[in-house]
Structure 1
Amino acid sequence: MSDSMEAPGEAVPAEEGGPAVPAAHGVPALEPYDPAAPAPLGVERIPTGNTEVDAHLGRLADADLLPADGHLEVYEDVHRGLRDTLTALDAHPPGPRPAVSHNPHHQHNHRS
């Protein structure tokens, strides 16, 4: 038997004070479960068609690599970027605006 494999049933010390997880014959020992460890959520991101919006939404994947206490910074950054991008979409383009007729004598037909 090689030095890299544990004997069946032999306890393998866990890291950071967690319980030891027995190793099975030919199967590596499992690390103790850490609920605070980073884990991808597996949420599918559907492209919006707007490259800037899609880039900000893609940044949410960074939270998958961070512990929970690091998520807030990513979420705030994404929110700020989306707000700025969407606000820019609502802004009128620079340059002359189309003329609007304000003729008080013009009657509108509002029938549906």
Structure 2
Amino acid sequence: MSDPMPDTVTEPAPLGVVRTPTGNAEVDGLLERLADADHLAADGHTEVYEDVHRGLREALSALDAGPAPAPGPPVPVPPYNHRS
């Protein structure tokens, strides 16, 4: 004979994963968003993880694109020197 299962439902418990700041405010904000999953049942984690993943992908893409051009008039292109 086995013990009956208790009728109590436990609330989701935080995993206690330490998030180390990166120094990049955008990335740090996304990593802090992971804490939202601590208060959700497992079936709610996917939405949080996908949101964070999308944000991290966008942040990496922005790094690949390089800095935005400085505002102001365009830099003139020197004329092509035709030599024959």
> How much has 1:94 moved relative to structure 2?
3.5
**Greater per-residue helix proportion:** 2
Q: Aligned match of 1:52 in 6, 26, 33?
A: 26
The runs of 4+ residues in structure 1 deviating greater than 2 Å are 92-96
Structure 2 residue identity aligned to 1:70: G
Cross-structure match for 1:85: 59
Aligned to 1:44, the other structure's residue is in SS state: coil
> How much has 1:33 moved relative to structure 2?
5.5
Q: Percent identity?
A: 68
Q: Aligned match of 1:43 in 6, 17, 22?
A: 17
Instruction: Output the TM-score relative to the length of structure 1.
Output: 0.53
Q: Which has the larger radius of gyration?
A: 1
Cross-structure match for 1:9: none
Give the paired residue count. Answer: 65
Unmatched tracts of structure 2, length 5 or more:
1-5, 75-84
Structure 1: distance between partners of 2:17 and 2:52? 16
Unmatched tracts of structure 1, length 5 or more:
1-16, 19-31, 97-112
Instruction: Output the TM-score relative to the length of structure 2.
Output: 0.69
Structure 1: distance between partners of 2:68 and 2:35? 35
